[in-house]
Structure 1
Amino acid sequence: MLLPDVAFLSQLADAADAETLPRFRTGTAVDNKRAADFDPVTEADRAAERAILTAIAARHPEDAVLGEEFGASGKGDRLWVIDPIDGTRAFISGVPVWGTLIGFCEAGRARAGIMSQPFTGERYVADGEAAWCLHRGVRTRLAVSAVRLVEEATLFTTSPRLFAARGAPNFEALEARARLTRFGTDCYAFCMLAAGHVDLVVETGLKPYDIVALVPIIEQAGGIVTRTDGGRPESGGDIVAAGTRELHEAALAILNG
């Protein structure tokens, strides 16, 4: 069977946007999914995932799905992986760096995906051959930066505190060498890497729904994304994405001590 095309990925994003955007900056109710700390979820998360699932079931009822809010269903080589709002903390804080992530895997490999940010009107999409930014009717092909040295790189991560249990000194060594480090943009940072504005993104403890949609966007823009052990990133874990192989290898060497 063929990969999902940009039109269908956009249809799925439209369905999600109709649920997320009207609830953004409205003071929507927030629930906590994890008693040990704060892991927020809102009705926007749940409604958007339901809308995506409904649209997939209508077109591809034979496909398997994995969503952050409603889990897994179905079996087979064709798998949709959904994060209805990646960056719920940003969403409830009114900051437009969250996004809806919809990824498609075939035989375990991420092949197509979309990130939709409806407040800014941006969509970042990979169609199996190339990656694109769709913004206000303009379609721009994505291409990563050519930076090869850590000392020339702009580095992003969600929070340096997340590395406390997984090797904070190694991340700090990477940060100390990078030209510029910024925090807190979740999926948006990976899309900025695909667009050539960011050179290096490092994250820890990701789930499949945090990364699958972004993998083809990065790779089809010419970038590299793996786990810190060098393995494929579809299963999540500790992730490094870079615009060039030289920068990626240098970052891995520092992070792995």
Structure 2
Amino acid sequence: MGRKRLPGIPRSTSQKASSTAKNARAISGIFAPSSECACGRPTRAAKRSPVSSLSTESPTETQAISTTSGPNRRENLGQQAIKIAPSALRGISTTTEWTTKACTGSPNKVSRGKSITTNILVTDRFQCVTPDLAADLELAISMADTADAITMAHFQSLDLVIDTKPDLTPVTEADLQVEQTLRASLSEQRALDSMLGEEFGVTGASNRQWIIDPIDGTKNFVRGVPVWATLIALAIDDEVVLGVVSAPALGRRWWARLGGGAWQSTFGAPATGLRVSSVRSLADASLSYSDSVGWESTLPKLAAATWRQRAYGDFWSHMLVAEGAVDIAVEPADLRPWDVAALIPIVTEAGGQITAIDGTPALRGGSAAASNGLLHEDLLRLLAT
């Protein structure tokens, strides 16, 4: 069945991103955009798409749009990743206008029905103008471009400055520069929002909180191992509604927003939808974890119960769950919100499930257990023994 071509984002909307995103052109050779890319950015008046009869679950391979038409310029992923709306693909009516309201009462939640509306920030003093999630995702992607330019400039550098934090974990000048730069961008473009970052803690007290890990996998970064990423998330009332995971040394990026599906791009190939596996038995499941510290007695039990075990580690384990390449990912201890926030919407929008190992919400649970959803109950039961 032929698919109707969906309109892209007007160039003027992308120009609202921070000017610091221009730095991303330093690594522009990594990503090459197609003329269309599904990412969760709705058009001004999205109408029901001819493909809306397809499943309203997170997009499958048949729902992902790719095209070779248009110029094949080698530009940053942010220009690629903001062009079509999975919400329009899935027949969801949306609005992109920013909404001004008196900031009273509780903030609007994202509707889970046929309409996705703007989220209004609550404050006693201001009339607030707050963008919808698609605009927030566009900003997050732009910030990821900026972060990629900074981190790649430092990666495998012979003069990289490395310090040790009080918890004895390393921090590099790249960690600090990324978080400072992203905070500056948010202060300019989302001045009323709160921020939580690994290196500089919490600022602000809004119900909308941006959560940033400038480099997840700093030890890999320091040693020249390419498995590390910048994690950017937005939580509204402690519910994570969008996440971006950008791993430029791998040439990979994953992103999702609530109700918009989960997506990835590899070295600039057209974006494709993510879907978890359909494995139903632990005995057939592939397990990934970070290390054995903190669950020396439980890991052997889980290893014995599963088909295959590999320590891919950190963010990558969870992204592999979202891709359906791995069925279970577990990090049993010492996780902070910035370690897990961006992972949550990507795994869940791909059809999976992610919680703390005791089944409580993952954001502040101190641990993470991700699965394809079908295995989650059995996984948590085993982890509890």
TM-score range, shorter chain: over 0.9
Cα offset, 1:109, TM superposition: 0.4
Secondary structure of the residue aligned to 1:168 is coil
Identity among equivalent pairs (%): 36
Where structure 1 has 5 or more consecutive residues not aligned to the other structure, the ranges are: none
Q: Which string of whole-angstrom CA distances, capped at 9 and with x for unpartnered residues, describes residues 122-149 of structure 1?
A: 1100122211002304110011111121
Aligned match for 1:216, one of 330, 345, 349:
345
Secondary structure of the residue aligned to 1:101 is strand
Is 1:100 matched with 2:224? no
Is 1:84 matched with 2:206? no
User: How many equivalent pairs are there?
Assistant: 250
CA distance in 1 between partners of 2:198 and 2:248 (Å): 19
Kept in 1: contact 2:291–2:313 (CA 8 A):
no
Q: Which string of whole-angstrom CA distances, capped at 9 and with x for unpartnered residues, describes residues 103-134 of structure 1?
A: 11011101101000112221100122211002
The equivalent of 1:73 in structure 2 is 203
Aligned match for 2:354, one of 200, 203, 225:
225
Q: Which string of whole-angstrom CA distances, capped at 9 and with x for unpartnered residues, describes residues 43-98 of structure 1?
A: 01000111111111111100000000011000121000000000001111111111
CA distance in 2 between partners of 1:8 and 1:73 (Å): 19
Is 1:34 matched with 2:175? no
Is 1:252 matched with 2:380? yes
CA distance in 1 between partners of 2:213 and 2:156 (Å): 19
Secondary structure of the residue aligned to 1:138 is coil
Cα offset, 1:168, TM superposition: 2.2
Cα offset, 1:236, TM superposition: 3.7
Structural mapping, 1:175-214, within 5 Å: 175-203=303-331, 204-214=333-343
- Per the normalisation by structure 1, the TM-score is 0.93
CA distance in 2 between partners of 1:184 and 1:139 (Å): 23
Flag the structure with more relative contact order, 1 or 2, with Cα contacts below 8 A and sequence separation at least 6: 1
* Large movers: runs of 4+ above 6 Å: none
CA distance in 2 between partners of 1:59 and 1:252 (Å): 40
CA distance in 2 between partners of 1:42 and 1:93 (Å): 12
The equivalent of 1:237 in structure 2 is 366
Cα offset, 1:185, TM superposition: 2.5
AA aligned opposite 2:271: R
Is 1:157 matched with 2:289? yes
CA distance in 2 between partners of 1:55 and 1:138 (Å): 27
Is 1:168 matched with 2:168? no
Which of the pair has more CA radius of gyration? Answer: 2
CA distance in 2 between partners of 1:97 and 1:221 (Å): 21
Secondary structure of the residue aligned to 1:237 is coil
Structural mapping, 1:12-161, within 5 Å: 12-27=143-158, 28-34=160-166, 38-129=168-259, 130-135=261-266, 136-160=268-292
Secondary structure of the residue aligned to 1:192 is helix
Q: Which string of whole-angstrom CA distances, capped at 9 and with x for unpartnered residues, describes residues 188-243 of structure 1?
A: 11111111111100102210000001100100010000112211111141221101
Secondary structure of the residue aligned to 1:75 is coil
Kept in 2: contact 1:225–1:242 (CA 8 A):
yes
- Per the normalisation by structure 2, the TM-score is 0.63
CA distance in 2 between partners of 1:250 and 1:158 (Å): 20
Higher strand share: 1
CA RMSD of aligned residues (A): 1.3
CA distance in 2 between partners of 1:120 and 1:158 (Å): 18
